[in-house]
Amino acid sequence: MTKNNERAGSEQKNANYDFTEQELDLGRKAAKFVNVLCMVALIASILVVVFVFMSVPANTRIPYAGRWATGPLPMQIVMLLSPAFLFMIWRDGRKSDAHHMTNRGRIGWYFLGPAMIAACVAGQLVLAKAALTAGGFFAGWGIEVGNA
């Protein structure tokens, strides 16, 4: 079986599954819980982006020395990664069938949803510190920040 056939089979399995009203209500609660968390994190992330954009020059580049290093990365692109990912999570939770979850799906959504959202926010703060350091925001404070 190819991956497309497997994917189609799993979608058919969920499409043919008869959800009870209780399962749908619990799914709605789980989807709403993660959507609210995601919206709060998205607003906080956008506030961090606005603060960074207002605090450092527009031509600031964040140093990057990864596996496929091409040099410093533009701050604008790097700072918009987390809000974009949070928007995609929020948008996925707003679909008309987002509350169609089995028991295992709800458990995963309650644990993995907040974990992904927290990772996005933590990553955003690390990237903001790197951008602020590269832009010289901490230079006048007399604080040694170290490598970002």
Whether the predicted pLDDT of 5 surpasses 90: no
Question: Please, is 112 exposed, middle or buried when counting C-beta atoms within 10 Å of its C-beta (0-12, 13-18, 19+)?
Answer: exposed
In this predicted structure, the answer to whether residue 4 has a pLDDT above a threshold of 80 is: no
Angle between helices 21-55 and 103-134 (to 10 degrees): 0
Reported as a single tens digit per residue, the pLDDT across 123-132 is 999 999 988 8
Predicted structure pTM score: 0.73
For residues 70-75, average pLDDT: 81
CB neighbour class for 132 (10 Å; exposed up to 12, middle 13-18, buried from 19): buried
Kindly report, residue by residue over 41-65, the tens digit of the pLDDT: 999 999 999 999 998 888 888 887 7
Closest CA to 26 of 127, 99, 115, 122: 99
